[in-house]
DNA sequence: ACCTGTGAATAAGTTCACAGCA
DNA sequence: TGCTGTGAACTTATTCACAGGT
């Protein structure tokens, strides 16, 4: 590691590279060049090389990158080399879709718990996960779950967040359309679906 | 408009400001200062002022910004002052959740059509919208729908995208975990849920 | 010849500090 | 005095060009 700080944008791209490499690996390829990978995932080759260079020498000049070695390295950087347990908070429409979502497995995530307020849902199972009472969020600490996906209505999002933080959660993927205030030990990534859609018309010429 | 180009990051923030202002407006406030708005939505005051300054003089020195006027102005910039029709492609778990999602209304979106391949779903209604056969995507042109939300499996995403573009769609909100190749007249915004989650562990210290 | 790794150049975005108006 | 508007300084990120292994 010869740089002092890794750019956030580089971290944002690492999962893209990881997925591309996993697919490459499934095809049976042993190595790949930055140009091939670039074509595959829609990023510039020099961007890829620059990003990798922050972490050391990954490739072999004239040859390219060893796919397996690179996968291992990126997983290590992102801390995806261990299984990460995640709790889902809020089993409504969106929450249910997230429980059924097949895409988390690639990165080694394990949705290990689900919580809701609705007494009708509590105790039932969805995708083999028992829905628990949200009043028992404090259990997350004992179960050593540090990550949560928040899919509750905006008006209870801050309140729930405070409880999550108290229960030792350190990372939150937030689907509520609101700003969450947390202490800076906690990392929040917000996905605001309506907001993403809201900036689309700007780019489209009228007519 | 005294600058040649509006930064993309500014456009990304405008919907945040818009939502904050709409909530302010509901509370009955006539005007708001950049500092108050900043506290409310979690952005710096100088960032807000800078962003607004790209579009001209919005505020009154010593007073703040007129909420109604600002809402109108931002809606105009984002082209949200007209009702934008959107088609949903893929009514699976995620697609259904999106159909039921209440958050689009704030920005004036109207989910006007839904398409799927599954014969069991075609003809049925979800949230008052009839699910149509995906082979009839070409109808989007006649119905003048320029925006689509893509919630189909990754392996059919590119194929469906090509059909959407052929049907005159100019903006796509893509939920599939893959790179979509489109001509540059079409704007794609990708929301990759697993990928967002995948960069969370990096920021969390071990232990 | 091929492909990586990286300093340097360029571009983009954020923060600051303060002039200017109500 | 309070708050906006903005040039300038600063920070961050992208792109380029090419040296240096295989």
Cα–chain-centroid distance for residue B140?
Answer: 19
Q: Output A5 or B160, whichever has higher pLDDT.
A: B160
Predicted pLDDT at A57: 87
Task: Return the CATH number at A181.
Answer: 3.40.50.720
> Does nucleic acid strand C have an atom less than 7 angstroms from the CB of A84?
no
CATH of the domain at B22: 1.10.10.10
Residue B60 beta carbon within 7 A of nucleic strand D: yes
pLDDT for B90 beyond 80: yes
Which pLDDT score, from 0 to 100, does residue B205 have? 92
Alpha carbons within 13 angstroms on the beta-carbon side of residue A7 total: 10
How is residue B153 annotated by DSSP? Answer: -
Residues on chain B touching A12 (C-beta within 8 angstroms): 199
Look at residue B1 in the predicted model and tell me its pLDDT.
Answer: 42
Question: pLDDT grade, residue A1 (50/70/90)?
Answer: very low
pLDDT at B5: 84
Chain B residues close to A13, C-beta within 8 Å = none
Q: What is the pTM of this model?
A: 0.96
Residues B73 and B97 in one domain: no
**Structural tokens at position B32:** 């708001």
Point out the domain boundary residue: B56, B77, B98. B77
Greatest CA separation found in chain A?
A: 62
**A204 located within any domain:** no
- B1 close to A (CB below 8 A): no
- Domain boundary pick from B77, B98, B115: B77
Kindly state whether residues B32 and B112 are assigned to the same domain: no
Question: Do B128 and B70 fall within a single domain?
Answer: no
CA distances from B202 to A18, A101, A170, A191, B6 (A): 14, 22, 11, 18, 32
Residues B39 and B94 both lie in one domain = no
What average pLDDT does chain B have?
A: 96
B154: nearest CA in chain A?
A103
Q: Is residue A42 part of a domain?
A: yes
For residue B205, the chain A residues in CB contact (below 8 A) are 170
CB contact under 8 A, A149 and B197: yes
Protein-covered nucleotides on strand C (Cβ within 7 A): 1-7, 12-17, 20-22
Say if strands B64-66 and B109-116 run parallel, antiparallel, or are unpaired: unpaired
Mean pLDDT value of segment A159-168 = 98
How many whole angstroms separate alpha carbon A17 and alpha carbon A58? 13
Binned at pLDDT 50, 70 and 90, residue A10 comes out as very high
Q: Is the residue at B206 inside a domain?
A: no
Residue nearest to nucleotide C4 (CA to C1'): A61
Tokens of A9: 């944008």
Residues A122 and A70 in one domain: no
Are A103 and A188 members of one domain? yes
- Going edge to edge, which strands form the sheet with A84-89? A125-126, A129-133, A109-116, A84-89, A147-150, A171-174, A187-190
In eight-state DSSP terms, residue B140 is: H
- Residue A103 domain-assigned? yes
Please name the residues in contact with B179: beta carbons below 8 A apart, sequence gap of 6 or more: A40, A41, A42
Mean pLDDT of B61-71: 97
Q: Which of B58, B77, B96 is the last residue of a domain?
A: B77
More confident residue, B54 or A3: B54
Across the range A69-80, mean pLDDT stands at 97
Total number of residues shown for chain B:
207
- Tokens representing A159 are 């309140």
What residue numbers bound the domain in which B190 lies? 84-196
What are the pLDDT digits (tens) for A39-73? Answer: 999 999 999 999 999 998 889 999 999 999 999 99
**A16 plus A102 within the same structural domain:** no
Q: Rounded to a whole number, what is the largest CA-CA distance in chain B? A: 62
Whether residue A14 is found in the same domain as residue A100: no
Q: What is the mean pLDDT of residues B11-16?
A: 98
> In A 8-37, which Cβ lie closer than 7 Å to strand D?
8-10
* A83 DSSP assignment: P
What confidence score (pLDDT) does residue B130 get? 98
CA distance A160 to A28: 45
Q: Report the percent of chain A where pLDDT is more than 70.
A: 98
Q: Give the model confidence (pLDDT) of A85-136 as tens digits.
A: 999 999 999 999 999 999 999 999 999 999 999 999 999 999 999 999 999 9
User: Which percentage of chain A shows pLDDT scores above 90?
Assistant: 95
Q: Is residue A113 part of a domain?
A: yes
Is the residue at B1 inside a domain? no
Residue A111 domain flag: yes
Same-domain status, A92 and A189 = yes
Task: Please indicate, yes or no, whether residues A150 and A183 belong to a single structural domain of this protein.
Answer: yes
Which pLDDT belongs to residue B26? 95
For residue A1, being part of any structural domain is answered with: no
Number of domains in chain A: 2
Cβ–Cβ contact A202 with B under 8 A: yes
* B133 and B179 part of one domain: yes
> Which of the nucleotides lies closest to A5 (Cα–C1')?
D12
- Same domain? For B22 and B48 the reply is yes
Q: What is the pLDDT of residue A111?
A: 98
């Amino acid at each position: 590691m010869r740089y002092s700080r890794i750019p956030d944008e580089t971290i944002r791209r690492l999962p893209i590279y990881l997925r591309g490499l996993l697919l490459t690996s499934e095809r049976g390829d042993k190595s790949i060049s930055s140009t091939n990978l670039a074509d595959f995932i829609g990023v510039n080759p020099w961007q890829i090389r620059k990003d990798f260079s922050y972490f050391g020498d990954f490739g072999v000049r004239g040859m390219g990158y060893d796919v397996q070695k690179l996968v291992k390295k990126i997983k290590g950087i992102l801390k995806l080399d261990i299984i990460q347990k995640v709790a889902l908070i809020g089993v409504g429409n969106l929450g249910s879709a997230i429980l059924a979502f097949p895409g988390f497995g690639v990165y080694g995530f394990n949705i290990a718990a689900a919580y809701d307020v609705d007494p009708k849902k509590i105790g039932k199972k969805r995708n083999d996960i028992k829905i628990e009472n949200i009043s028992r969020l404090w259990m997350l600490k004992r179960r050593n779950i540090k990550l949560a996906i928040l899919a509750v209505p905006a008006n209870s999002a801050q309140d729930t967040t405070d409880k999550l933080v108290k229960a030792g959660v350190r990372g939150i993927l937030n689907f509520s359309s609101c700003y969450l205030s947390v202490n800076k030990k906690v990392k929040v990534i917000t996905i605001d679906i309506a907001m993403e859609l809201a900036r689309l018309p700007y780019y489209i010429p009228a007519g």
